[in-house]
A and B are shown apart, each in its own frame.
Chain A
Amino acid sequence: MIGCILVRRRLSAYMDGDLDPVQSRRIVSHLEACAACAARWRSLQSAVEMLAEAPRLECRDLISTRVGDRLEVETRGAGLALVLRPAWKSRPLIVPSLIPAAAVLFVVLGAAFALDRDTEPLPAVATRGAESWGPTGASGTESNPVFVSSEVSAPRARTSAPITELMADVGEEPLFVETVVARDGSVSMVTLLGGDLRQAGPLLEALRHERFEPGRRHGRPVAVSLYRLISRTDVHAPVT
């Protein structure tokens, strides 16, 4: 009589008829005597029968149709086969496909350039605008000049521009000008705040060449902003 462990190991071979007659008879004898192994044998048979009797699963559509479609695409040559080809295959259309892409790029860039170009350039405006707002330097420097006050002395002119002569070319409209006198006495910036820029051009150029004794704050030279109203009209003090 063989043991349960050995019998259970051989049940699969017994099921397939792979055991010789002697071994088969021993298995049969053991199954007749051992209820546990007999139950195991029945459950094994039942499981295998259930699997063998399971319905065959069928595909809803014909696989042959899908295979045929795929093979047709693969053997058609150009067209979809070109799109579906592996990445490592050559790409003969890469250069021709770049030509229309380059043409489209050229048209788009050309149109953008044409639309961006101004038909008549605006005159340069030297008035203070938004561009002057931004990070500024320390107070009293050329980028952040101070105004004349009780603490800041006014710059004194060393060489003045011939304003009277130059005003002959300017119209009746008065000019309102800001001059920034730098710490070394030179003029770092002249800005026309009001008036005709085209007529005031020579005068502004002359003002840039003026030289001053710089303004001082606590004895140290600082950049000072001066505002001047320049007009051809004589202003007289009222007669009292």
Chain B
Amino acid sequence: MSKGPGARGIAMAAGEFALRSAEALAGGAAAESGLVEQCLRGDPHAFARLVALHEGMVFNLAARLLGDPEEARDVAQEVFLQVYRTLGRFEGRSTVKTWIYRIVVNQCRNRQRWWRRRRKDRSCPIDALTPADEAKLAEQGSRTEDPEERVQRRERARAVQAALLRLSFEHRAVLLLREVEGLSCQEIAGALGLPAGTVKSRLSRARDALRSALAGPLEAL
């Protein structure tokens, strides 16, 4: 295992790491490029800030791709450990965010292949909404929606996730990067290592597959 760039100073307490992560949220993505250089120089807190900037995105993408919050949490941890260990090889051809997207997709793809090999008898959990997510949904709609609209909103969220999980992994990945993460086709091409034209045609088929998968549930709602 190769040591990461900040190995000298990473031996800080976990509590301090979390505190720095929370502080970094306020900083936004503006200092992202500088964070990498600080990490490479061995700044013990720079990597914590980098994690804090991206952990929400990484978890959400992994949870949507895998449909299992627990697996997504493990994947998110592995993603950042891989980032830490390979940050020295990051060449800066893309943004750090795009590079992390690529690691997330690859980790999730590997995890799903592992599922298929080892757990053929177990189906993938359909619902990635945790009780906390449902509470958040309820809170979001409480001021503007009546209870019936809140229920419909929650059911739509469930239907979307269920429809996503019926798509192929590659369709799911390109849809999430485009519609949820807001990446351009060029950025998606960089993250997935594909030509932009392939991304566009795959995105077209993925959108159509999602429309078909949602056709039944939408009529029911």
Contacts and interface: CB of A to CB of B under 8 A. Distances in A.
A62 B55 contact: yes
B133 to A, nearest CB: 6
A70 interface: yes
A50 to B, nearest CB: 5
Contacts of B208: 8, 12, 44
A69 to B, nearest CB: 5
A8 B161 CA distance: 24
Nearest to A77: B11
Interface stretch (A51-59, A162-170, A215-223): A51-59
B18 interface: yes
Dominant secondary structure at the A interface: helix
Dominant secondary structure at the B interface: helix
A212 B50 CA distance: 105
B136 interface: yes
Interface string B23-62: 0000000000000000000000001100110011011100
Interface stretch (B87-95, B106-114, B115-123, B199-207): B199-207
Interface string A40-56: 10011011101110111
B72 A69 contact: no
Given A70-B81, A86-B1, A57 B210 contact: no
Interface residues of A, number: 41
A51 B160 contact: yes
Interface string A59-76: 111111111111110111
Contacts of A18: 200
A72 B160 contact: no
Nearest to A89: B1
Contacts of A8: 208
A56 to B, nearest CB: 5
B59 A58 contact: yes
Interface residues of B, number: 63
Contacts of A55: 129, 133, 136-137, 140, 157
A71 B55 contact: no
Contacts of A63: 51, 55, 58-59, 73, 76-77, 80
Nearest to B221: A50
Contacts of A72: 10-14, 17
Interface in B169-214: 175-176, 179-180, 185, 200, 203-204, 207-208, 210-211, 214
Across the A-B interface, the 9 shortest Cβ-Cβ residue pairs: A68-B17, A12-B204, A64-B21, A57-B63, A63-B55, A47-B211, A64-B51, A65-B18, A59-B59
Interface of B: 1, 3-4, 7, 10-15, 17-18, 21-22, 47-48, 51-52, 55-56, 58-60, 63-64, 69, 72-73, 76-77, 80-81, 84, 128-130, 132-133, 136-137, 140, 156-157, 159-161, 163-164, 175-176, 179-180, 185, 200, 203-204, 207-208, 210-211, 214-215, 218
20 contacts: A12-B203, A16-B185, A43-B215, A47-B207, A47-B214, A50-B156, A51-B175, A55-B137, A55-B140, A57-B60, A57-B63, A58-B132, A60-B130, A60-B132, A63-B76, A64-B18, A64-B55, A65-B17, A70-B77, A71-B81
